[in-house]
Structure 1
Amino acid sequence: MSNPVAVEVTRGERVESAHRGAGAVVDADGGVAFAFGDIDLPVYPRSAVKAIQALPLVESGAVDRLGLGDADIAIACASHAGEDAHVAAARAMLAKVGRGADDLECGVHWPLGERAARALARAGATPSALHNNCSGKHAGFVCLACAEGVDPAGYVAPGHPVQRAVTEALGAVTGARLGADTRAVDGCAIPAHAIPLRALAFGFARFATGQGLPPGRALAARRIRAAVAACPSLVAGRGRFDTEVMAALGPAVFTKTGAEGVFCAALPDLGLGLAVKADDGGKRAAEVMIAALLIRFGGFGAPLDRFIAPGLVNWNGTAVGALRPAGPLSGATAIPTGPP
């Protein structure tokens, strides 16, 4: 049975295309508050779990031993746009352990942010690994290795102590069994594990509340949430979902996009974790899906308006259509006071 249509794309008065998908809202006890589609099919969350992957850096005490602050923690959780502030933050983090861009093993790509990419090109420069959207996460891995007295070289390999710690944290928080059969390779070269949406949402509920986590890990999760709330511009960038929503709502919500149509979020005050996946990998669909769930369960309004029903314009700037929640997510624009 295929997943339901969760997002429609209109042009004029007609539906021009549609996105199918699945999603789950789960509490810290593992109770499913809402679900649609196949939430037990493993998916690769990719960058959506960067905050969980950052837990060892904080929980180990490396953050304090190295004198890292909120900006360092936030950039370690980022899928950034490659803006000057992002590059500077990743560089500064590496400098605290006497390392630099050459120590990053994430690869090189042009900044994700169009403005940043154009500015770099106008300057006649080429990107470095610091412009990679994952450079902050990788800087965190390098810092963790250095703080633990481990050679960071090869830190992307599954058997490296850094990735063993990251995989342990990801499995323990989500409750998913992770092994060679769930593992592939992410775009930034680290292991990418396939995890069901149910487990991802459960993991984010625990990340939101600390419930079911050892005291040190619960404290680390709280510290990561606080750092991201303090520095939301470092997590994504100008105009992007994670930065705009968390800048507006502060610690009331944690959101994190992933590649190929995955999006996760946490609602600490309600003790809920959210996870969605657009079947076709569409970022635009995943944003509408997670916005619909945040509105339905968090009761948020204006900060999510532009993301739940983004308009489509032609090359003359004329409005020609829009995206909208559909099927199980229909009616999400009617804002309730909390979970049903």
Structure 2
Amino acid sequence: ELNKTGKEPGQFHNNCSGKHLGNIAACKAAGLSWDSVHEPFHPVQLDVKALISDFCGLPEDFINVGVDGCGVPVFGVPMKNMALAYSRIFDTGFMNGKYAGVQELLHKAVTQNPDMIASDDRIDTQLIRLTRGDHFGKMGSDGVFCVHIHSKGIGVALKILDGSIRAVAPAVIETLVQLKTLSLDVTEKLKDFHYPPVKTWSGKVIGKITPVFKLKKVK
């Protein structure tokens, strides 16, 4: 749309703008000023931290708080706690239904509007669309990706150590294949994410990215 009108993208078009709008909406709903909503001790950010503590099963004192390119507080937790949070994200029975209304609304929103999560060429959107909302995946920064598998009630979290984006999709699909959460039909439709082709600048396919790891059970 910007190209059609000849306009240049600005701060409002940042891929994190939804999070900022959510913060502002929360301020408006609570009757709070949003002038300092980007500060870690703003009431909205404290509420976000408390929510993350609940879903991650981690005391707030163990949650690291920093600032990334979005310019608002971000919260750091161990990978196992990320996975735990994603296992609970749409579990309406969690904490005796404390978040049930919001969880139902969120699940409906992402299932009906997967293109608003990312775009058609992103694994986030295609995973939601092809599984009809059973798998909810979300890309983070620097090679982080988390998945909620609704039918299994489990969560997955992974991190590419060097932050490589191109390794994320193959690792995610391979993990789900090994966990046997995807149907053969969906796996086939995701093959270009599972084994992304490597092409020359002229478009000739000269190879592919192949995940070679094996998941291990840990006690």
Give me the TM-score of the superposition, normalised by structure 2: 0.89
Aligned equivalents of 2:163 and 2:65: distance in 1? 19
1:313 equivalent in alignment to 2:196: no
1:148-188 superposed Cα distances (whole Å, 9 cap, x missing partner) = 01011111111111111111111110112334871111211
Give 1:312 shift. Answer: 0.4
Q: Distance in 2 between matches of 1:187 and 1:169?
A: 22
| Cα contact 2:144–2:158 (8 A) shared by 1 | yes
1:269 aligns with 2:156: no
AA aligned opposite 2:69: G
By how many angstroms is 1:268 displaced? 0.7
Q: Structure 2 residue aligned with 1:285, among 153, 160, 167?
A: 167
Matched, 1:299 2:179: no
Q: Give the Cα separation in 1 of the matches to 2:129 and 2:165.
A: 20
Return the offset for 1:127: 2.0
Q: Secondary structure at the match of 1:265?
A: strand
Alpha-carbon offset, residue 128 of structure 1: 2.2
Match runs of 1:191-230 below 5 Å: 191-230=73-112
Q: Which runs of 5+ in 2 are unaligned?
A: none
C-alpha separation between the residues in 1 aligned to 2:103 and 2:170? 26
1:1-340 equivalences in 2 (<5 Å):
84=1, 119=3, 123=6, 125-179=7-61, 182-297=64-179, 298-300=181-183, 301-328=187-214
Query: In structure 1, what is the Cα distance between the partners aligned to 2:160 and 2:107?
Result: 25
Instruction: State the distance in 2 between where 1:263 and 1:182 align.
Output: 19
Tell whether the 8 Å contact from 2:170 to 2:195 is kept in structure 1 after alignment. Answer: yes
* Amino acid of the structure 1 residue aligned with 2:32: V
- For 2:93 and 2:84, how far apart are their aligned partners in 1? 11
Given the two structures, how large is their TM-score scaled by the length of structure 1?
A: 0.59
* Structure 1 position 221, deviation (Å): 1.7
CA RMSD of the aligned region, Å?
Answer: 2.0
- 1:188-239 per-position Cα deviation (integer Å, ceiling 9, x unaligned): 1111222111111011111132343341313322321111010111111231
